[in-house]
Amino acid sequence: MVPAAVLARARSLRQEIERHNHAYYVLDTPTIPDAEYDRLFRELQALEAEYPELAARDSPTLRVGGQPLDGFAPVRHAVPMLSIRTETDTTAAGARAFDARVRKELGLTETDPPVEYAAELKFDGLAINLRYQQGVLVQAATRGDGETGEDVTQNVRTVHSVPLRLALDAPPAVLEVRGEIYMRRDDFERYNAKQRDAGKPALVNPRNGAAGSIRQLDPRLAAQRPLSFYAYGLGEVQGWHDAPATHSATLDVLAAMGVPVCGERVVGAGADALVAFHDDVEARRDQLPFDIDGVVYKVNRFDLQRTLGFLTREPRWAVAHKYPAQEEMTVVEAIGVQVGRTGALTPVARLAPVFVGGVTVTNATLHNQDEIDRKDVRVGDTVIVRRAGDVIPEVVSVIRERRPQPEPPRFDIMQSSPVCPECGSHVVRLQGEAAVRCTGGLYCPAQRKQALLHFASRRAMDIEGLGDKLVDQLVDRGLVHSPADVYGLDLATLAGLDRMAEKSAANLVAAIEASKTTTLARFIFALGIRNVGETTAKDLARQFGTLDALIAAKEDELLAVRDVGPIVAASILQFFAEPHNLDVVRRLREAGVNWPESSGLQQSTGRLAGKTLVLTGTLPGLTRDAARDRIEAAGGKVAGSVSKKTDFLVAGEDAGSKLAKAHALGVMILDEAGLLAMLDVDKPDRQPGQPDCEF
């Protein structure tokens, strides 16, 4: 028996979490920090685990995906999901031809008033039917052949913008909402970037990404894909007594129920309104956050739709008006290389000019060597190129039947570019990484801005005031070529920059001067060595004691450092093997950058030597940084999550799931007093009036 208080709390959590889901995924206006959302979600998960009777079809915990399926069950549509006619004339004549057909079928003359239409976007995704019973999502099905689709309920539940319960006090007995599962361009690019960084296959395009995600047999994989949903119509309806009389009003009501409906839609009278909508959307097509391949016109009144009826299996009252294709064929004339802000060398196909997506394209990204190998792109190949919106054009596939004979050789980026085309530094490809990278991080012009911003960041050299806009000016004007040049900036130079008052310039000069005195760990971190984070930098400083010792270290010596494996060791060796980087380090020292050095330690001898601690909750007297510094000064390591290797959990107020996991694993729990007693310290470092810090 579930206690009444637990039932009420679970109900409240579900409502609050879905409210935040709607704000974040539909309205794009998040209302709480991610950490607070995670806390609510974990609390609901814990309640449902403790009381299985709480399981409900509308629980947001279902969005993480369930067990893999053996296959998709067939679903017979109560109302067929029919396709609509496509108007391939992409000019204004296409819209006028549709209006003329509608007026003819309705028997209207030139003197009769214009027909009212609803015009909306034609999304490039996967059509889906959502079946709600008493307001709760019970089934999701694909279009299939129009009569029978596939049951993809588990996968669709992972799409956060799909409401699991309609926001209605008295919902219809049955309400089928029809719409499109799609992938935003920015989500598509972020997902593919993560896949490439991990050496995994990227998605071909947003449409294939959406369709392939929903048809994954493992819902947990679908949950990892960033999908969205827009409604555009209805299927079967039972018990909706005050249903609207028009299509546009129906979409308004669906939006009020919490169902995502695209705002890019209009209601207008006659052909002129359709032409205006078509032209307006075409002019803004590249700025839309998702792909479309046209617009859709529908007679707005349902009674007129019923009068018009269907032609074979297509409604006479609707049409899809296409835009020019965003995929075209062309020939790869050469393959070049570009260097990005992080030092990654990106292969680029130089193309025979082709008009695609409204512009002439001459270059297309090939992403990395793995993508070139997977698609087998070679100079001379005929390829399909895709351009959508602001997304960089890319080669989608090769038409191998048109490959020149004899076959051109395969392209190898390491052979074509053994050194960086921007700075001449050596390039490397680390084990397990897809990207080939330049090793001249402190010197390479392509990486200059990124290197400076990292160097000046709070946890590195902490040069307050040296931010994005100022770095842009310093680099673009040729005033700074490497971090060492920062220490040559004077008041007059800085005061002469845009939006830089004399007081601000003086403050920055002071911050630059103050940063000269630092720690070895901060300096190592500031260098921006790939795979060397803040914690690893501290371990390196503690182990070697001096920068010269670190620079001279061999691979086996680096591997002896805690948590330094072959990949991190290789990154360090390659960084210091590059003469350009050593020259910048020398100039930084000559500029007066200094730190205390020691003889180094083969093994820490502090009170917490060899111990791993995790921090959670809000401590009454220590900030997060202060607690971490004390633990590390005593030879301990601070980890981000609890595991079997954790020795102590330091828990404050509002401790979350880490505390529960520590109890389950039998990890010793300390409060702040226990931590300080272990360190044999009486007073914390908090300044008067400084607020507590939650972590």
- CB-side exposure of 579: number of CA atoms within 13 Å? 2
For the cut 90, the answer to whether the pLDDT of residue 327 exceeds it is no
Report the percentage of the chain scoring pLDDT > 70: 93
Rounded distance, CA 644 to CA 13, Å? 31
For the chain, the average pLDDT equals 87
- The per-residue pLDDT for 391 is 60
Q: Which fold has domain 327-416?
A: OB fold (Dihydrolipoamide Acetyltransferase, E2P) (2.40.50)
Q: Considering 122, 298, 375, 538, which one is annotated as catalytic? A: 122
CB-based contacts of 498, cutoff 8 Å, min separation 6: 473
pLDDT at 73 over 70: yes
Amino acid at 386: R
Half-sphere exposure of 273 (CA within 13 A, CB side): 19
Task: Establish how many alpha carbons lie within 13 A of residue 390's alpha carbon, considering only the half-sphere containing its beta carbon.
Answer: 8
Reference 677, options 626, 607, 605, 618; nearest CA is: 607
- What is the pLDDT confidence band of residue 682, given thresholds at 50, 70 and 90? very low
Residue 307 has pLDDT above 70, yes or no: yes
pLDDT of 683 above 90: no
Phi-psi region of 271 (alpha: psi -120 to 50; beta: other; left: phi over 0): alpha
Tell me, what's the pLDDT at 668?
92
Residue 17 sits at the vertex; the CA angle it makes with 11 and 18, to the nearest 5 degrees, is 90
Residue 442: predicted pLDDT:
85
Of 168, 133, 175, nearest to 257 (Cα)?
168
- pLDDT top residue among 548 and 11: 548
pLDDT at 684: 44
* Res 694 pLDDT > 50: no
CA distance 588 to 79: 72
DSSP state of 243: -
- Report which of 28, 327, 67 is spatially closest to residue 219, judged by C-alpha positions: 67
Q: pLDDT at position 28, please?
A: 54
**Region 250-254: what's the mean pLDDT?**
96
Top-ranked range on mean pLDDT: pick from 180-184, 432-436, 604-608: 180-184
* Model confidence pLDDT, tens digit, residues 510-556: 999 999 999 999 999 999 998 899 889 998 998 899 999 999 999 98
List, in sequence order, every residue forming a beta bridge with 231; answer none if it has no partner: 179
430 or 518, higher pLDDT: 518
Which stretch of DSSP H or E encloses residue 359? strand 359-365
The percentage of the chain sitting over the pLDDT mark of 90, rounded to a whole number, equals 47
More confident residue, 682 or 442: 442
Structurally, what CATH architecture does the domain formed by 85-322 represent? Answer: 2-Layer Sandwich (3.30)
User: In this predicted structure, what is the pLDDT of residue 688?
Assistant: 37
Q: What is the pLDDT of residue 693?
A: 36
Give the per-residue pLDDT at 30.
64
490 and 456 Cβ atoms separated by less than 8 Å? no
CATH for 4-56?
A: 1.10.287.610
Q: What is the 3-state secondary structure (H, E, C) of 126-195?
A: EEEEEEEECCEEEEEEECCCCCEEEECHHHHCCCCCCCCECCCCCCCCEEEEEEEEECCHHHHHHHHHHH
Mean pLDDT of 620-646: 83
Give me the CATH code for the 612-679 domain, please: 3.40.50.10190
Angle at the Cα of 563 (from 561 to 566), degrees rounded to 5? 85
3-state class (DSSP) for residue 217: coil
Q: What is the mean pLDDT of residues 161-181?
A: 93
Highest mean pLDDT among 15-19, 132-136, 655-659: 132-136
Q: What are phi and psi of 135, to 5 degrees?
A: 85, 0
Nearest Cα to Cα of residue 381 among 360, 353, 351: 351
* DSSP for 407-476, written as a single string: PPPPP-HHHH-SB-TTT--BEE--TT-S-EEES-TTT-GGGHHHHHHHHHSTTTT--TT--HHHHHHHHH
Q: What are the residue boundaries of the structural domains of the chain, listed by start? A: 4-56, 85-322, 327-416, 418-602, 612-679
Mean pLDDT of 342-346: 87
- Please indicate whether residue 122 is annotated as part of the active site: yes
pLDDT score of 33: 67
pLDDT band at 68; cut points 50, 70, 90: low
> Which DSSP string do the residues of 322-338 spell out, in sequence order?
E---SEEEEEEEEEEEE
At 626, the amino acid letter reads A
pLDDT of res. 585: 96
Predicted confidence at residue 221, as pLDDT, reads: 81
**Distance (Å, whole) CA 125 – CA 178:** 13
Predicted confidence at residue 213, as pLDDT, reads 84
Confidence of residue 695 (pLDDT cuts 50, 70, 90): very low
CATH 1.10.150.20 fits 418-602, yes or no: yes
Query: Residue 219 above 70 pLDDT?
Result: yes
